[in-house]
């Protein structure tokens, strides 16, 4: 079974009062992956006035992975100093590259 379109096929909740209905929730396919990024020592960097850099680096993870395949849909959350994504297996190998390149760019360009 191809689970790549799992997220795209989830019905939108249009009525906020239905947000707690169990029927609106779905298990993530067992072949999908959870990716988490975190800017190391972000609290210190933010205290030092580097919050825009921290936010930018955290957003790079999402942006980079979204750009791998613009047709695929998957859930993600931006956390300010990191991100969490749930991706289909077709994105895993290229997502690893994005994560490594983002870490490299964070160090080289932003000293994070």
Residues 55 and 103: their CA atoms lie apart, in Å, by 13
Tens digit of each residue's pLDDT (9 = 90 or more) over 88-108:
999 999 999 999 999 999 999
Q: Among the CATH numbers 3.40.50, 3.30.70, 2.60.120, 2.40.100, which is that of 30-110?
A: 3.30.70
Q: For the residues 48-64, what does the mean pLDDT come to?
A: 95
Cβ within 8 Å of residue 32, ≥6 positions away: 3, 6, 74, 86, 87, 88, 89
- What confidence score (pLDDT) does residue 5 get? 86
- What confidence score (pLDDT) does residue 2 get? 76
- What confidence score (pLDDT) does residue 1 get? 62
Domain residue ranges in the chain: 30-110
Model confidence at 3, pLDDT cuts 50, 70, 90, reads confident
């Amino acid at each position: 079974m191809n689970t790549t379109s799992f997220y795209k096929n989830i019905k939108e909740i249009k009525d906020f009062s239905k947000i707690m209905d169990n029927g609106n929730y779905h298990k993530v396919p067992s072949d999908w992956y959870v990716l988490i990024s975190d800017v190391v020592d972000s609290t210190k960097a933010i205290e030092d006035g580097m919050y825009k850099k921290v936010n930018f680096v955290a957003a790079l993870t999402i942006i980079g992975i979204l750009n791998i395949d613009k047709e695929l849909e998957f859930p993600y959350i931006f956390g300010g100093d990191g991100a969490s994504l749930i991706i289909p297996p077709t994105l895993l190998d290229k997502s690893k590259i994005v994560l490594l390149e983002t870490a490299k760019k964070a160090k080289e360009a932003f000293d994070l």
